[in-house]
Amino acid sequence: MRRRIVVVVGVVAVAASTVVVAVASTTAAGLPAYTNGYQKWPKLNAKPTRGTPLGRSAHNGLKNVYASKKKVGSKYPNGTVIVKSIAQTDDKPARPSQVAVMRKTSGRWKYIEYQLSGSRYTVLAQGQLCQSCHMQAKANDYVFTKR
Ligand code: HEC
């Protein structure tokens, strides 16, 4: 009898910790938790930038680029997250209409971009599409914006 109670308690504890992990992986607004607090990271751009890069339609708006880590030599270390916020003039400052993210794991960048719909961010585009253009910044570890 006593043994059964211990087992039940154990299962409840595991279930509770699983819930905590699931909640921690995204922020309230739907962005991944690894972007949390990006607005306070050092900026890679001296001033907000505007315009459509390379004459194409990617990233159009008022832009700031934030990096969670500094380059070591010519490369960003594993675990670096780079966030570009892309605001339209009527956006509320805390919620830019688009958030583009590069995150380095195992020596490779993963690309994903979110778009605000209502009060939550949903995935706009990711992967190969992004990488094919960022190839042009290969000399700076695939990051266009330089300090
Ligand atoms: C047509 C080319 C092009 C495509 C496609 C593109 N980017 Fe970019 N990206 C740029 C350029 C150029 C910059 C430099 C800043 C600027 O002018 O907006 C940039 C900047 C960024 C930055 C800030 C770091 C840096 O490189 O300066 C992030 C993060 C980013 N892009 C993520 C993405 C993601 C995620 C996607 C795919 C959903 C994507 N990009 C697709 C051209 C592109």
Look at ligand 1, atom 11, and give the residue with the nearest C-alpha. 53
Distance 48 CA to ligand 1 centre (A): 14
Look at ligand 1, atom 12, and give the residue with the nearest C-alpha. 53
Could you report the per-residue pLDDT of 96-119, keeping only the tens digit for each? 999 999 999 999 999 999 999 988
68: nearest Cα among 102, 93, 95: 102
Residues 6+ apart with CB under 8 A from 115: 97, 98, 121, 122, 123, 124
Could you report the per-residue pLDDT of 14-66, keeping only the tens digit for each? 444 444 444 446 777 999 999 999 999 999 998 888 876 665 556 778 899 99
Q: What pLDDT is recorded for position 26?
A: 75
Of ligand 1's listed atoms, the one at least distance from the Cα of 86 is 18
50, 134, 145: residue to mutate for ligand 1 pocket, most atoms within 8 A of CB: 134
144, 145, 146: residue to mutate for ligand 1 pocket, most atoms within 8 A of CB: 144
State which H helix or E strand residue 128 sits in. helix 128-134
111: nearest Cα among 123, 97, 95, 96: 123
Could you report the per-residue pLDDT of 64-85, keeping only the tens digit for each? 999 999 999 999 999 999 999 9
Instruction: Map out the domains of the chain as residue ranges.
Output: 30-140
Q: What pLDDT is recorded for position 2?
A: 56
Distance 12 CA to ligand 1 centre (A): 44
- What's phi and psi for 56, nearest 5 deg? -120, -175
Distance 57 CA to ligand 1 centre (A): 10
Whole-angstrom distance, CA of residue 145 vs CA of residue 147 = 7
Q: What pLDDT is recorded for position 12?
A: 47
| Residue 4 scores a pLDDT above 70 | no
**What pTM was estimated for this model as a whole?**
0.83
| Residue 144 scores a pLDDT above 60 | yes
Q: What pLDDT is recorded for position 19?
A: 44
